[in-house]
Structure 1
């Protein structure tokens, strides 16, 4: 049944019911656990906390109510991990390691390797990279060869220079060669979960060292379908920018010899929360086939009346000589945590191989 009720906030992953679940499962694996104190502390001020604050609070409250040594506490938390009913809630366990395990390197590395199979230890491992870079990175090199896809993914995701929701790793941001062995070990991984991480890691690097990434991928054999997949997704930001080397890697080099016919945005006037549909036809103007990357950009109106462009991927295709291809895409124009929308005229541009070839518009009502 359709509903107009908004989706629960992401932070509600850690609601009172979930905290009770954690307390119940802790009591099952450690009967002496002070569940009452844990719940009182964890629920205090819960409504005002963000999701990451709630995640950290769980590990802090576990620490406060576990009267054990660090190593003994890890054994209890190892027993707890498979009993938790949310992968993201499991992230509180690696957070425990990052917060309280800095003086026990080897037990902490073993714990993170174990805990990452239930959620992810990508945030926690970064604290060890900051405090003991060489030793931690050496462990992550070994993880990149592990049989478990979650562990291999941690090797790449944990050392991303610009991991969302975490601090930047300045050393790797300045010199991506430091993590290059990990990326090379994973460049043909058969796990999509791992490949997405490798592609995102490389896409992070393109923000600071685009030529380094291009040099690296140009040296890869893209005959392997997994490596080719990583290359396409790693270069997505450069492709949206029309970078000719990136376009050449995916076989879409050079100016697109096409015309755009009948570009149209409907409806042209919308209220916030409604959808627009962009449609147009791409027609070849040459006799030979072309590899095309088609994107579109929206010039979003800002609070000050200016605009800020956001590029969206649309499709890649091989267009035979003289042929036409009709393209259509719908998009909801609604509020996001990462974007506010403002009334006014929003230009929409069709990009082919990075070049703007046609435009239209829609208006958002006040």
Structure 2
């Protein structure tokens, strides 16, 4: 069984964490701290709830004034780095602290997030500030997009994604993303892949509400550099998966009306949760010209409510010659993950070429 994410908060973490707190907080009482952490509701709390709880307990052990508390948190991060700790999901407790207690202290919180995000990203904590102080916060994000630290530059994009997963949405930016665009312009040819991936993901968020804006960016950025070309391609993936005509044309992907999918085979038409689905198929270009194809497969996963939910997986994107047949073999794990739970029932496997479903097979997943 997969270990739940919430168990990153374990004895090993707290022994390390409290040792550093003891060095930084005068009169720190480790025994009392852990007693408050491991309260009656601890086991029932999920990951996010545990983060919030730890931030609340930490608040009780800090002096009380927000500016002094932030100064101590900076000292704690410096001490953690001296111990060889370079951040990790569990240390998002610091970003939870800023989100919970810093909204009324704009300037101190902005300085704090600039520092903290170089240890652990503040992409979730910044969002209430963008909602409360939209103009000021987005101007600060624009300044951060030129920061010397790649972590701060990445934060300037990731923090203002309109639809950042597992975070509160930014309705105003979903409706009008114009404040985001100068930030992305500054980062479109960034030297860091970490930053560029965030730019692409931000574009992919924007495209869900404002496809024409992203298509305009694609036209302007296309050919600027190989790095920028990768960004716009990855940032247009939702449009490409939906076979949006203009997006397909911009990336040289034609309608796959002369492509034939044969011999779609599933090794086992019934698999158990935890097993792996093995399948294969042949692709033939029956036309007279080479054609550029985006080859994907989709699985309609059964949800808890008995309905299917399609997830697309890209295999490759290449040019395929006329009269040629190409064979593909793939495997897809049905092991439960913290991010995806599988349910028994009938599932569908589909081969998708340039956004078009060209072959389908049914299979069953059992308990």
So what's the TM-score if we normalise by structure 1?
Answer: 0.92
Q: Provide closer, same or farther for how the CA distance between residues 142 and 305 of structure 1 changes in structure 2, counting only shifts above 3 A.
A: closer
Q: Which residue of 1 aligns with 2:182?
A: 181
Q: Which residue of 2 aligns with 1:14?
A: 9
Q: Provide closer, same or farther for how the CA distance between residues 339 and 94 of structure 1 changes in structure 2, counting only shifts above 3 A.
A: closer
- Name the SS of the counterpart of 1:27 in structure 2: helix
Match of 2:72 among 70, 73, 76: 76
Matched, 1:39 2:39: no
Q: Which residue of 1 aligns with 2:213?
A: 212
1:250-309 Cα deviation digits (max 9, x unpaired): 221333522112111111221221111221121111232211001112233455654333
Q: Are the equivalent residues in 2 in contact too, given 1:259–1:285 (CA < 8 A)? A: yes
Distance 2:216 2:303 in 1: 37
1:78 Cα deviation after fit: 0.7
Matched ranges for 1:51-70 at <5 A: 51-70=47-66
Q: Are the equivalent residues in 2 in contact too, given 1:27–1:33 (CA < 8 A)? A: yes
* Greater shift in the superposed pair: 168-177 or 244-253: 244-253
- Name the SS of the counterpart of 1:124 in structure 2: coil
Unaligned runs of 5+ in 1: 1-5
Distance 2:228 2:50 in 1: 38
Q: Are the equivalent residues in 2 in contact too, given 1:266–1:362 (CA < 8 A)? A: no
Q: Which residue of 2 aligns with 1:3?
A: none
Distance 2:202 2:281 in 1: 34
Q: Are the equivalent residues in 2 in contact too, given 1:276–1:333 (CA < 8 A)? A: yes
Distance 1:303 1:71 in 2: 46
What RMSD, in angstroms, separates the aligned Cα atoms of the two structures?
A: 1.9
Matched ranges for 1:59-208 at <5 A: 59-84=55-80, 85=85, 86-208=87-209
1:337 Cα deviation after fit: 4.6
Q: Are the equivalent residues in 2 in contact too, given 1:90–1:120 (CA < 8 A)? A: no
Aligned residue pairs total 361
Matched, 1:50 2:46: yes
Matched ranges for 1:159-308 at <5 A: 159-302=160-303, 305-308=306-309
- Name the SS of the counterpart of 2:77 in structure 1: helix
So what's the TM-score if we normalise by structure 2?
Answer: 0.92
Unaligned runs of 5+ in 2: none
Distance 2:303 2:102 in 1: 45
Q: Which residue of 1 aligns with 2:318?
A: 317
1:94 Cα deviation after fit: 2.1
Q: Provide closer, same or farther for how the CA distance between residues 64 and 230 of structure 1 changes in structure 2, counting only shifts above 3 A.
A: same
Distance 2:236 2:179 in 1: 20
Q: Are the equivalent residues in 1 in contact too, given 2:200–2:231 (CA < 8 A)? A: yes
